Amino acid sequence: MSIEVCNESGVSMDATLIASVARFALDAMRVSPAAELSILAVTTDAMSELHERWMDEPGPTDVMSFPMDDLAEESRRPDAPDMGPALLGDIVLCPEFAKEQAKKAGHGLDDELHLLTVHGVLHLLGYDHAEPDEEREMFGLQTTLLTDWRVGREQAAAREAQRRSDSAVLGVVGLEDS
């Protein structure tokens, strides 16, 4: 799976973690490993232009998704078993706009960008939140994916810390035996 992250926003963000959460969500949704995704972080001015042009709404927003390939046919869906290479599309994030949302939500910008990335992935896969039932499904799935990704990262960090600790102990023991 190819995921490209480009930051043109002027706001510092961890592109590796953005790609990681996107990859996790796509894998969890059983999207073909041949799929391609582009994630772009832009300024509020650039996001305002996109928002007005494509949604006819003034001002910036936090995230927009632009699907590329026509995935309406069942055989072209990115989660189809025999899916070949597909351009899923683009996710556009606006970190500057997301900063205020993060503050209001009581978490950091990184957490907000991870949430918005998963939100964007789900939109690319055809999920929406225009109706109450759709919103419950999409936001429930979004929460599950983020939670599972965070738990996986915490477990990996704990294993790495244990490995380092074991190596340090074994290294000391090895020196005493010489």
The CATH topology of domain 2-127 is: Collagenase (Catalytic Domain) (3.40.390)
Other CB atoms within 10 Å distance of the CB of residue 110: 17
Segments making up each domain of the chain, as ranges: 2-127
Of 113, 79, 84, the closest CA to residue 96 belongs to 113
Is the Cβ–Cβ distance between 79 and 65 less than 8 Å?
no
* Full pLDDT tens readout for the chain, 178 residues: 899 999 999 999 999 999 999 999 999 999 988 899 999 999 999 999 999 999 999 999 999 999 986 554 444 445 555 555 578 999 999 999 999 999 999 999 999 999 999 999 999 999 999 999 999 999 999 999 999 999 999 999 899 989 888 888 776 554 444 4
pTM, entire model? 0.84
146: helix, coil or strand?
Answer: helix
Please give the structure tokens belonging to residue 98.
């997301």
39: helix, coil or strand?
Answer: strand
